[in-house]
């Protein structure tokens, strides 16, 4: 790409790019959790559960990871995708899964729960 440019210009261009990357690198770690959260959000909206789960696990910020977990559990329950709900390994998040599902069950009105398969929670109970 730069082979047709004079060597001194190419050298200065490369130095400028190297300087720019060295200035940006510390800030990449600051925005990385936000980027993983955005990837998670849009993958979940598209119905790509496995990709959303992978983005959640890759997020380096534990609080954002827990927020994504809560959204994933709510979405899977609302969609009735209980097989995906139980198939994910939830690496280091097993306790949070139990807590979130327990809270979700407490918020559901007992009048909405049908034991004949009409409620998305009927298979969990």
The verdict on residue 15 lying in a domain is no
Question: How many residues would you count in the chain?
Answer: 125
pLDDT in tens, 50-83: 999 999 999 999 999 999 999 999 999 889 888 9
CA angle 96–102–108, rounded 5-degree value: 135
The verdict on residue 2 lying in a domain is no
The verdict on residue 23 lying in a domain is no
> Does residue 2 have a pLDDT over 50?
no
Which residues span the domain enclosing 64?
Answer: 29-107
The verdict on residue 113 lying in a domain is no
What is residue 110's predicted lDDT score, i.e. its pLDDT? Answer: 63
In order of 24, 29, 47, 62, 73, the CA distances from 57 in angstroms are 25, 16, 17, 9, 14
The verdict on residue 59 lying in a domain is yes
The verdict on residue 90 lying in a domain is yes
The verdict on residue 19 lying in a domain is no
pLDDT band at 101 (very low <50, low <70, confident <90, very high): confident
pLDDT in tens, 34-45: 999 999 999 999
The verdict on residue 114 lying in a domain is no
Percent of the chain past pLDDT 70, that is, above it, reads 67
Number of domains in the chain: 1
């Amino acid at each position: 790409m730069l082979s047709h440019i004079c060597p001194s210009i190419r050298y200065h261009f490369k130095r400028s790019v190297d300087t720019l990357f060295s200035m940006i690198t510390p800030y990449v770690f600051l925005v990385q959790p936000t980027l993983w959260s955005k990837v998670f959000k849009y993958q979940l909206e598209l119905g790509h559960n496995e990709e959303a789960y992978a983005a959640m696990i890759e997020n380096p910020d534990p609080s954002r990871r827990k927020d994504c977990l809560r959204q994933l559990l709510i979405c899977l329950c609302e969609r009735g995708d209980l097989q995906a709900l139980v198939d994910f390994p939830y690496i280091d998040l097993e306790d949070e899964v139990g807590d979130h599902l327990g809270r979700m069950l407490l918020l559901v009105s007992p009048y909405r729960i049908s034991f004949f398969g009409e409620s998305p929670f009927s298979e969990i109970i």
